[in-house]
Structure 1
Amino acid sequence: MVHLPGRIFRRLVRSLFWAASGFLLLPGALPAWAGASENRETFEAVRAADLKLATIGWRLSVANAPLCDRLEPGLGLQLHTLDQFDSASRTAAQVHFGFATPVAVEGVVAGSPADRAGIRQDDSLVRVGPVDLAALPGKPETTQRLVAAQLAIADLPPAAAVEVEAIRAGAPIKLTVQPVPACRSRFELLLSSGYNARADGTMVQISSQFIEEYTPDQAAAAVAHEFSHNILHHRDRLEARGVDFGMLSGFGANVKYFRQTELQADLLSVYLLANAGYPPRAAIDFWNRFGPSKAGGIFRSRSHPHWRDRVATLEAEIAKLETVSARPMVPGVIAERSQPLSGDWQSLLIRHR
């Protein structure tokens, strides 16, 4: 489990946003308090936390590719850009990470195609297949170039070999990566002292507290739930129903549709976990730990079922999947993702007794 040093974590919570494939260092985040050694400690703590989520996302995306109708080439690369650092921190970051181009490898998922091909952290990228990374649009102190790079790479064929040109320790290198199909989704980590998680159809975002405070399996369960929303196209289907998001999600006709999507995501999440080699009961462990003290805000709104009922529903579904040995398991809810939401959440829910 990644653990950020306490003083580093508290300072970063006040000043940083980071993503699973990079982070944004906001103006004044480091220079006011960090010397060279603390800069290094901070950069490496962020790198380690990013890689933790990237690895969870990788496992879930690759193992469950047969369940997804939107795919991308699974490389196992975790990228970041020099743009993401403010002007006061950019020089320190450039030296620490050895940026020789605007986009570099922050980390590599162990055992991934990129790892097997010999790509290493701090390789500065010139080209990935036909994608000229330096030519992508980017503005200082934004993640614009990072997102553009991720989307351009995701548009490549999911299983075709990719030639990667990079600069390592000042010398050009050229490597060939044989990707594997992966579900198309970005995974971002929000550095925060709160507990927030969301999915928008193309991205999963989760607060750093889930990585910091929960076991790897429990954190994977939280990610799998949000990832399920993307696989089931819930955002598109909710918008097609004309629902209100945000504060109005717990009122009127909105409720039944949000509850249906929440329960569908719960049910699919345990299959995603099992297919990826995580224990399905991690979802129950997560809710039993999270629910009693922290299931507030959106987690306790009228649009979300009570956490005890969610545990009872998960218990019943896990009992079903534990009788199935085939992998990957494809639950029936996958076949429903092209259909309009019916609002029938009652038939999915099992009440806690």
Structure 2
Amino acid sequence: MADVLVPTLDHLKQAYAVTSAATQVTPLLESAALAKETGATRVFVKPESLQWAGSFKVRGAYWRLKRLSPDEARTGVVAYSSGNFAQGLAAAGQALGIPVTIVMPIDAPAAKRDATAGYGARVVLTDHGDRAREEVAAAKAREIAETEHLTLLHPFDDPEIVAGQAGAGLEALDQLAAKKTHADLVFCSVGGGGLIGGVALAFHYLSPNTEIIAVEPEGFNGMGSSLAHGAIETMPIGPKSICDGLMARKPGDAPFAAVSTAGVRGITVDDAAVRRAMKIAFERMKLVLEPSGAASLAALLGGKVDVAGKTVLVVATGGNVSLADFISHMNDGRI
């Protein structure tokens, strides 16, 4: 861990200066209804679901591709992903003219597979059986990198990915300042930790009194457990979560170093809470969120964190869900 690069504020700003020219400024939406329901003074939601390719992932992907050498860019890259990084990297590769190969678990949502291919990426599917799906997909990506001489990219365990994802935090800080306020609490969902690593660093440098809450599905709380014990821990293979993008069994070294520097604590949410958050986001804010994208809102609504009298920021990370799957989640939850 001591050798893992933790990006500086200048590094984050350099990345944001580049990526902001190729990404959208996602809005900062205030919800009086959410504030009333939770007891918070103010609640802001930053819907990265409205970003290019439907999630924050394009921020880190674009910056990482910009860091390739000319030879690496010409040959192309390969990565593994269950969906959102796949789409973000494919979209960034299309914009920059860089060939992209994505290895995806066979049970990744069809909508995400189709969208990835739609951005021009080559998609390779893996069948993981009883094994951890990210381990099988990662092994296949390494094999392709070696045999085809492609640059292997990690979806979250890379300081440059962390730096690129920090753009969501820097942008939110600017938007909060424009509203003459600040966040006392930030809820941000966690898979491998690339986003929360960047967001936590942005607030650590520029709003150090803000508390950052890492939100994970039950059974996949590798970041929270690792933070609690001061070292990276791997969670056992257990039941699936509807939050398919948050099913990493452990955080990456680079994100863990970032959040350890910034001071973060973790909580978990169950599938029922996530379904409820999806429904509330749709009905009250007119936002379509995928389960992984709604986990942070579920944490706010779940009452595990005292938000009374505080100003809260919820990072809603993605909206890549088909209509059929969205309706299915609502029916499964009998909401």
Same fold (TM over 0.5): no
TM-score normalised per structure 2? 0.27
Bigger relative CO (Cα 8 Å, ≥ 6 apart): 2
Q: Which has the larger radius of gyration?
A: 1
